[in-house]
A and B are shown apart, each in its own frame.
Chain A
Amino acid sequence: MRYVDEFRDAALGRAVAGEILSLVEPGRHYKVMEVCGGHTHSIYKYGVDDLLPSNVELVHGPGCPVCVIPMGRVDDGIAVAHEENVIFTCFGDMMRVPGSRGTLLDAKAEGADIRMVYSPLDALRIARENPDREVVFFAIGFETTAPSTALTLKRARAEGLANFSCMCSHVTIVPPLRALLESPDLRLDGFIGPGHVSTVVGARPFEFIPADYAKPVVIAGFEPLDILQAIQMILRQLADGRCEVDNQYRRVVPYEGNLKALEVMAEVFELRPHFEWRGLGFISHSGLRLTDAYADLDAERRFSVPGVRVADPKACQCGEVLKGVIKPWECKVFGTACTPERPIGTCMVSSEGACAAYYNYGRFAREREVV
């Protein structure tokens, strides 16, 4: 398939791996964070890390949309889902994220009308088809997904659909990156920037990383050669003593992003003063909520939402995994009490989660042998 096969070419991959080897200084340890969970998934699916020198370490970032949702937020969703006459809709992986008393799937088994959707527009269709029911869409995701929610709310408004509302848990990518860079327990040499988030926001929002923290950023696609080339470009910058935002994914990501998407997001959403991230705590101006102009479509204003903060299970170390402080297999419950079938932590829920990626692609057995 054109534009896929060439980005999975093994010979080209080995050639780029050779260039990477030529760029690293012996005795120096390099830590590169892939921000996006999609990259984490590709790295372990295709064994990209196996092509890297031992002193180039990939650290998994906070860019998995479901992994960063705190337990209390899941509890809020379940509470709304149990409201009388409600049809609660959400994306697939979100249904398996544990709250303090179970998941949305568990709530569905208990009788709540919870339905999986692929797009917010599907939730809107359900609202049209069920005018006597309250249809709530549980919106999660980064800037890739937020435009879809914004367009859906504009459609609901235009159609005068009074039985549709949105529980907004959208987040933005830059604040957690700044929080990570400020973290004293994490030393990073560079970032593989998120490909599809950047399709919407462009490259400009990442300029603070080289400007304020002197680290290179390379926005990358999701094929194995994309990721390898991005690592090569980061190491090239380091070898040259440069740090800047570069775009390996130019075939999709324009420097200025998608201006129409940014415009519709600005109309419908505003920044929350702060939002809780799983494992990272409260981060200022990192979450989105509906503007007052869309207050009538805001499920948090329409329903009673507990809003109780819930501490993560003590055994779960998702927070440290999300910050790249530990590897998934170093978590006490990885692969034993916590598996993709019965996840304790969010990183084991989605295939983009670092723990699930390790587990599903055999890192579990391999790393244990090393231990």
Chain B
Amino acid sequence: MTDPAPAPACTADHCITCGDDGIPMTIVGHHAEPGISLCSDDAGELWPVETTLVDQVLPGDRVLVHAGVAIAALAGGGCE
């Protein structure tokens, strides 16, 4: 498992946090910090994500991520 790619993910004309974007990601595994999971976005890039606001997540679960925090669990393996 590799370390997460460094933030930020914003582009020149779009800030995903200011834009209230929710990014669908897949739980990949645990992170060294408690409450943080390693997640993969749909491009395969890895991110540390705070997952304490969603019910227990397991590798393979899908979550909606905003500002580094999973704000919703996505049912059915994907539903962005």
Contact = CB atoms under 8 A, between A and B. Distances in A.
B64 to A, nearest CB: 6
A3 B53 contact: no
Interface residues of B, number: 32
Given A1-B42, A151-B53, A261-B53, A65 B20 contact: yes
B3 interface: no
B21 A196 contact: yes
Interface of chain B: mostly helix, strand, loop or mixed: loop
Contacts of A151: 50, 52-53, 69
Interface in B10-35: 10, 13-22
Contact of A118 (B9, B42, B53): B9
Given A118-B68, A121-B50, A260-B52, A352 B20 contact: yes
Interface string B47-68: 0101011100000000010111
Contact of B72 (A36, A141, A199): A199
A152 B78 CA distance: 27
B7 A122 contact: yes
B75 A148 contact: no
A148 B66 contact: yes
A116 B19 contact: no
A327 B17 CA distance: 25
A66 interface: yes
Q: Which residue, of B21, B67, B75, has the highest number of chain A Cβ atoms within 10 A?
A: B67
A190 interface: no
A264 interface: yes
Given A119-B7, A151-B50, A350-B18, A340 B13 contact: yes
A328 interface: no
Given A38-B21, A91-B15, A252 B50 contact: no
Interface of A: 1-4, 36-38, 41, 63-66, 91-94, 116-122, 140-142, 144-145, 147-149, 151, 194-197, 199-200, 251-254, 258, 260-261, 264, 340, 350-352, 360
14 contacts: A65-B19, A65-B20, A93-B15, A118-B9, A141-B20, A144-B20, A145-B17, A145-B66, A148-B68, A197-B20, A254-B72, A260-B52, A260-B53, A261-B53
